[in-house]
Structure 1
Amino acid sequence: MADKEKKFTQELERCRANVKKTKELIEYHKNMLKIYENKEAELMSKLDEVKMNSLCVMINKNGYDIDLLREAVRLGDFSAILQQKKEIISESEGIKREKSILNDET
C-alpha cells in the first residue's frame, strides 16, 4: 500500500511541476503576443505613414487621375500609377506629333 502511495505522490509532484511549467509558458507567450501585437501595430502605422507620404509626393509632383489614385490606395501599390502616367504622357506626345504633322501638311 505504501508503495502505491509513494508512486502516486511522485506522479502528483511531476504533474504539479508540469502544470507550473505550463502556466509559466502560457504567461511568457501572453507577454510575447502583446509585444508582437504592439510591434505589428507600430509597423502598420509606419507603413501607412510612408504610403500616405508617397501618395502626397506623387500628387504634388504630377497630379493624377482620381480613379487611379483610388485604385492605388485600395491596393496599396502606387507603382501602377507611375506606369499608367508614363503611358498617358507617351500617348499625348504621340498625339502632339500627329497634330504637328497635320498642321505642317496644311
Structure 2
Amino acid sequence: RPADKVAAQIRAFDPWPGAWTKIDNSRVKLFSAFVVDETRSTKNPGRVVGLEEDFIKVETGAGLVGIGELQAPGRKRLRAGEFVRGFHLSLNALLE
C-alpha cells in the first residue's frame, strides 16, 4: 500500500487499539506515523531504510513512511531512537 495510506492507518489507531507489526517475532505497536516520501520507488515493503533519532524510515508499497514511536509488548511507548537502541533494530530489518 502507498505511504499515505499506511501512515493514515497507523494514525487512525493511535492511541487505541494501536497499529502493530512483527519485528523478530515480537508484536510491536506503531504510533506517530507520517509520510516521508511518496515518490520513492520501493522494492521491499516493510524494510527499514533509515534510523533517525526522531523516527525510523520504512518502505511501503509506494514511498516511505516515518514511524515516530514504537511499543514492544509489556513495555512503555518509546520514541524511535530509544526503541532502536533498546530493541537493537537495525537497517534492513523487516517489519512484517
**TM-score (normalised: structure 1):** 0.16
Which structure dedicates a bigger proportion of its chain to strand? 2
The one of the two structures with greater contact order (alpha-carbon pairs below 8 A, sep at least 6) is 2
Which structure dedicates a bigger proportion of its chain to helix? 1
Q: Which has the larger radius of gyration?
A: 1
**TM-score (normalised: structure 2):** 0.17
